A and B are shown apart, each in its own frame.
Chain A
Amino acid sequence: MVSVDYELRKKVMDAHIHDALKYCYQCGRCTDVCPVSRVAPERYNPRANIMLSFLGLNIFKGQQNNFAIWGCTVCDTCDEICPQKIELTEIFAVLKNMSIAAGEGPDYYTTQASAIYDAGKAIPSQAAIERRREQLGLPKIEEPNVEEVQKILNATKLNTILKK
């Protein structure tokens, strides 16, 4: 029994300017050009993701690392090829944001976001690399203002998502 997830439907519609998503006629050009569909056709299909999002059929819930959404490599090729100018990658970001908020994304994503929250950088500075920079004659990296970063991320409530 599949039920309609109205929150999902509202979110994908809101995310997309002028509701262009409605004009998807399921031609499948997105899947034709998708590099991930090519290597994992049974597991990742952008055309199906658009159809399910539009209908509000949230089959993405309930898996820690759901390849049906997290398989997207964010190459933006589908956006570029879509004859209806649907920005598919934007819709997929909505699905991914919902997955993370439900505590379900691959660890990589929350680990990286956590580093950004703590240090202001996805890859914080390390002594060995600082020495290498010096050897290569490179200037020191100026450290970001972490306090400002955290104020912003508390305002967007990322701290709650990351359990900070």
Chain B
Amino acid sequence: MTEYKMFQGCTIGNRIPFLEASARKVFDKLGITTSEAAFSCCPDPVGFNSVDHESWLAMGARNLTIAEDEKKDIISLCNGCFQTLKMVNTELLHNEHEKSKVNKILGQIGREFKGTINVKHFVEVLHDIGAEKIKEMMSKELNGMKVACHTGCHYNRPSEIMQTDDPFKPKKLRAIVSATGAIPVDYEEETLCCGAGVGNAEEEPAMQVLANKLKSAKAAGAEALIVNCPACFQQFDTNQKKAEKLAGEAFNMPILYVTELLALAFGEKADDIGLKFHRTRTNQLLEKYNIA
């Protein structure tokens, strides 16, 4: 059995751990085993790489060496951590000049980047396990629940490096969601960013991007938005009210991290996966589909 090093990242680990609760319950059911490690911040591909690229590379490489020590691949619960670790891994594997620069820095703490492990997004891993196995574990069909899938930017772009999924027509999240009986709707803004990045500089444009996204999902008849990234989750869940105010329109869109959807389909109780910690209410949706 493959054991992965769990990389939940700062946002899930230290701010919204209920997402991790659902992920772990789903992983257990599907036979995905993980162990902990003392990773630092990935670091953030939007924030930290914008501050200093060299520092971003060196810190990312240090995290990779921790997994290399144990000869285990990393499984990431966050698009940002996934993009950083995968990009750093790829860049250093293909660029001898950068690699030797980074290894000179890592040498000061007795570490060396070797490039011997892989970095996986948990959606890739779930997709590889497959719809059949997911269906076997289900005790609740979510038949007919119309959902909008949002993979987020750093899950599959830049595709030349990430190699996760189609950059403009991502399929894996849709396939996982479809296994539960839910129906992914087609909506125009499926690959649009959640707007979190620009929000670091200024709020209003970020809320406009967010409103564009939610409007499009709503217009396509989505009853919930399914995400696979904690940064996107927070943007949709925490900032939805602000986007509604700006757009002058109520979206009332429940946001579910994909392992929350799976956990519910596997018969987990909403209380045990901390759904009450969501800002957007999920009660009506759960009642409609007779989910605990």
Q: A-B contact count, CB below 8 Å?
A: 199
Q: Is the CB of B50 within 8 A of A109?
A: yes
Q: Does B223 contact A (CB under 8 A)?
A: no
Q: Does B112 contact A (CB under 8 A)?
A: no
Other-chain contact of A122, B10, B55, B191 (Cβ < 8 Å): B10
Which A-chain residue is minimally distant from B36 (CB atoms)?
A: A142
B167: chain A residues at CB < 8 Å are 80
In the assembled complex, the Cα of A110 lies from the Cα of B44 at a distance in Å of: 12
Which B-chain residue is minimally distant from A82 (CB atoms)?
A: B158
Q: Does B117 contact A (CB under 8 A)?
A: no
Which B-chain residue is minimally distant from A120 (CB atoms)?
A: B40
In the assembled complex, the Cα of A161 lies from the Cα of B199 at a distance in Å of: 23
Q: Is the CB of B11 within 8 A of A155?
A: no
In this complex, which of A70, A75, A110 has the most chain B Cβ atoms within 10 angstroms of its Cβ? A75
Q: Does A113 contact B (CB under 8 A)?
A: yes
In the assembled complex, the Cα of A139 lies from the Cα of B24 at a distance in Å of: 10
Q: Is the CB of B21 within 8 A of A136?
A: yes
A142: chain B residues at CB < 8 Å are 36-39
B172 to chain A, nearest CB (A): 17
Other-chain contact of B48, A36, A89, A112 (Cβ < 8 Å): A112
Q: Is the CB of A106 within 8 A of B201?
A: yes
Q: Is the CB of A137 within 8 A of B53?
A: no
Q: Does A28 contact B (CB under 8 A)?
A: no
Residues of B at the A interface (CB closer than 8 Å) are 8, 10-11, 13-15, 17-18, 20-21, 24, 36-41, 43-55, 58-59, 62, 105-106, 108-109, 111, 153-154, 157-160, 167-168, 191-193, 195-202, 205-206, 208-209, 212, 272-274
Residues of A at the B interface (CB closer than 8 Å) are 15, 35-36, 38-40, 44, 65, 67, 70-77, 79-80, 85, 87, 89, 93-94, 96-97, 100, 105-106, 108-110, 112-113, 116, 120-126, 129, 132-133, 136-139, 141-145, 148-149, 151-153, 155-156, 158, 161
